[in-house]
Amino acid sequence: MQVFATSPAAVYTGIGNAFTRISSTEGVRALWRGVSSVIVGAGPAHAVHFGTYEAVKELTGGNRDGNVMPWLSARESPPLPTVTSGGADEV
């Protein structure tokens, strides 16, 4: 969401200035506020993604020696996990 009229106190000159001002006024812990919700949402989504990736890779023979169709596992493994876990970390 865009803010059209910002407070002069909230305007930063750069990332270093933002870190310095936030940590001095609100404390260092304020820099980490909201990280737990990101971890709670992204952790399971990435687990589903990589689990599906490995399952599809195994089904298409990507983990076997002498795979006669490595292009199939290379082509099918990346998109299917994206479909299964797409948007899970945005809920």
pLDDT tens digit string along 16-44? Answer: 998 999 899 999 988 888 888 888 888 88
Residue spans of the domains in the chain: they are 1-33, 35-91
C-alpha 84/C-alpha 91 separation (Å) is 14
Cα dist from 82 to 23, 40, 51, whole Å: 37, 19, 11
- pTM of the predicted model, to two decimals? 0.50
Residue 36 exposed, middle or buried by CB count within 10 Å (0-12, 13-18, 19+):
exposed
- pLDDT at position 78 is 67
C-alpha 33/C-alpha 51 separation (Å) is 29
Tens digits of per-residue pLDDT, 34-73? 888 888 888 888 888 788 878 877 777 766 676 666 666 6
